[in-house]
Each structure stands twice: as C-alpha cells, then as structure tokens.
Structure 1
Amino acid sequence: MDPHAEDDDQQVGEDYDPEQPGDNDFQGQATLPQVPVKTGEEDDEEVAKFRAKMYRFADGQWKERGVGDLKFLKNKQTQKIRLLMRQDKTGKVIANHMIIVQEGFCKLSQLKTAEKSWIWTCYDASDEQPKVWQLCVRFTSADEVERFKTEFEKAYENNKVEAEPEKKQE
C-alpha cells in the first residue's frame, strides 16, 4: 500500500490545514518529577578545589583521564580526607581515593618531565574495580602546584592523626 497514493475512501477535505492542530494534539512537553541526585559527596565537606588535568600510568605510558575540578573532601563523621575528581561535561569520576598513610602510597613526587605536575601511587576507586594506580595531576600555574602540595600534605597528616585512634582500639 502506497501512503502517498490517493484513496477515494480517505480523501482530505478542502478545508484541511496541515498547520492547524488536529485531534491528536501533541503538546511537545513532558512533565517529569524532580528526582534528587546522589553524588556520594553528601556526607563530605569540601576542603580545597583545583582546576587540573589528570593522567594515569597504564600500559607503560601516561594516559589522559580528563580535565575537571579536583577536590579534597573531608567526611563529616570520620574526619578523613579523600581526593575526588570529576571530568568536565560528563561528570564521570576519574579519580577517587583516600589519602592513606601506608608505605608506598600517597607520597608526592614531582614529574621529572613537567615542573607543574605531581605524581603519587594510590588505591583508586574511580573504576568499577578499585586498583592500585600511579596518578599524575598537571596544573596551569606554579602557585597551584604549590597549593596542591600543601593541601595534599595537610590531608596526609590529617588522615595520619585520624588513623591513630583506630590502631589503639585494635
């Protein structure tokens, strides 16, 4: 059946106007209920925030994770600080780890090839399965590089103090 063929049974009247709304009047707007979005940051307080580019060392090379806001977040109950970074536009989590006080983890060192970058090893939970990764963060100014180092070291010391009562309880 050809939809363009004229059919004597379905003739359109002379007064038909395709621009006028018909019986099936479609408004073009849907009403959706407001749904609260959980980010996982509800129980946290922002300590510091930076604009940066994140890299991860994988397959023998540095691979870009994304650009966005890197935050130090302090949990309101445990008082421990974690690092969280979301990619601009998509909001995808590209770094999410506690600043832990453990041998081989969370010790900043400067990337030899870039003076505005810091690298460290962490147990990152930004992917489906948490894994040990080496991360690198790059900033646009030397001031931000120093400010990040200061905040990272403060977080490390804070978490070191917060971890001591746990050891005493064991």
Structure 2
Amino acid sequence: MSKVEETGVDETYSRQFEPVMVLPEVKMSTGEEGEDCLWKCRAKLLRLFKSESTTEWKERGVGDVKFLRKRGTENVRLIMRRQHTLKICLNHYIIPSLKLQANSGSDKAWVWAASDFDGEKMTDEIFCIRFNLVEEAQKFKELFERCAKQDKVGEIPVMQDDKKEEKKEEKPEEKAEEKKEEKAEEKKEEKTEEKKEEKTEEKKE
C-alpha cells in the first residue's frame, strides 16, 4: 500500500506560486550620503526656552549625536536624531564662531549657541548636551573645538564601524540570471527528493 493510500495525503506534492509582480528595490535617502562619521555617542539634548514669564531648559531629544565630515572637505556638521522616530533635533555646521561653555554644576554637559536647521526652518538656539560619562563629554569637547578651530580636520580618522564600503550595483540582467539559477537548483532538489521517496515506497510495497 502506498503512503498516499495510508494517510490520504500526498506528501511529495509541492506547489510553487510565482509573484504577480516584482517590486523594485527602493533606496531610502538619509541625507548623510557623501559624509563620514568621525564620532558618535548617545546623549540627551536640551534647548533653552524663553518666554515672557519664564526661562527654562526643555528636552529636545535623546539619541546618537554625530560629527559628520563631508568627503573631500574639512566641513563638519553636528547632527542628532531622536531615538525611535529618527527625527532631526540638532543639525548645524561647526564654524569658528561657535564656543562651548561648561554647564554649571556638571562635568558631563556642555552649552553653546548656534543657528540650527531642523529640516524645515533655521532658528537661533542655545543648546545643552549631556552625556552619561565624563570621558564621553571630554571627547565631544575635544572634537568640537578642533573642528571649530579647523585644526587638521581632514586628518581625523573615520569611525571604524561607519566606514562605508563602495558596493558594485548588480545589473538587472545579472539579478534575473541569479534568480533563474536559484529556481533551477530548487527544482533539481525537489525532483531528487521525489525520486528518493518513490524508491522508498517501492521497497515497502
């Protein structure tokens, strides 16, 4: 008796469904193309809020602050995105007129003023950034001041994790050929499995 007659199910049967249409790969722009990350670190960013009745620090966001250098130049910008939403909360170039000041009562925070572009409009802001460790705050200060002084900025090494390797884009014809080969291999494997099962059934009978 065959396996199909015993169980009522043909386990060797397989069916493949071809996709109705193949969607092309879409490359999303981050706005950081053509730039190298010199350093990044998790921090909390605050901005000074002023009104007629009060002046206070308000949280702008928590996330990774980055020093990005435009390739082939010594132009460095400071950028930070909020965690989860990745919305920009800090975005400006580090120019000679920018000065860091220590935040009173803390060796893990720095204050400075800058013209910031949040992706929609340019505004003059006073920022305060806080780090978890003193070492992180010191590294931020050293890099910020070096970029502001334009002290051999081009010689600052790129972060190892953020080195971007240029990848050759595959041609559509090559991709299609690879898919054909993969399908052919799958079919060969299926036929081999079917033959093995048929031989096993013949021996049982």
Same fold? TM cut 0.5: yes
In 2, the alpha carbon distance for the partners of 1:159 and 1:124 equals: 23
Shift, 1:127, TM fit: 4.8
How far does the alpha carbon of each residue in 1:88-147 deviate from its partner, in whole angstroms, 9 at most, with x for none?
100000000000123xxx200011143311000011001521011001100011111111
**Alpha-carbon contact 2:116-2:123 (below 8 Å) kept:** yes
1: CA distance, partners of 2:104 / 2:113: 16
Structure 1, 49-58 or 110-119: larger mean CA deviation: 110-119
Gaps of 5+ in 1: 1-29, 163-170
Structure 1 residue 32, shift from structure 2 partner: 5.2
Contact 2:41 2:64 in 1 (8 A): yes
Q: Work out the CA distance in 1 between the residues paired with 2:119 and 2:103.
A: 24
Larger radius of gyration, structure 1 or 2? 2
Contact 2:38 2:67 in 1 (8 A): yes
Aligned to 1:18: none
Answer yes or no: is 1:51 the counterpart of 2:42. yes
Match of 2:80 among 77, 80, 85: 85
Q: Which stretches of structure 1, 4 residues or longer, exceed 3 Å deviation after superposition?
A: 30-33, 159-162
- Give the strand-richer structure, 1 or 2: 1
**Secondary structure at the counterpart of residue 36 of structure 2:** strand
Query: Which has the larger share of helix?
Result: 2
Mapping of residues 16-27 of structure 1, within 5 Å: none
What letter matches 2:109 in structure 1? Answer: S
Secondary structure of 1:145's partner?
helix
Name the counterpart of 1:39.
30
Q: How do residues 15-164 of structure 1 correspond to structure 2 at under 5 angstroms?
A: 33-59=24-50, 60-102=55-97, 106-158=98-150
Number of residue-to-residue matches in the alignment: 130
Contact residue 100 and residue 159 of structure 1 kept, 8 A = no
Aligned residue identity for 2:63: G
Q: State whether residues 81 and 159 of structure 1, in contact with CA within 8 Å, keep that contact through their aligned partners in structure 2.
A: no
Unaligned runs of 5+ in 2: 1-20, 155-205
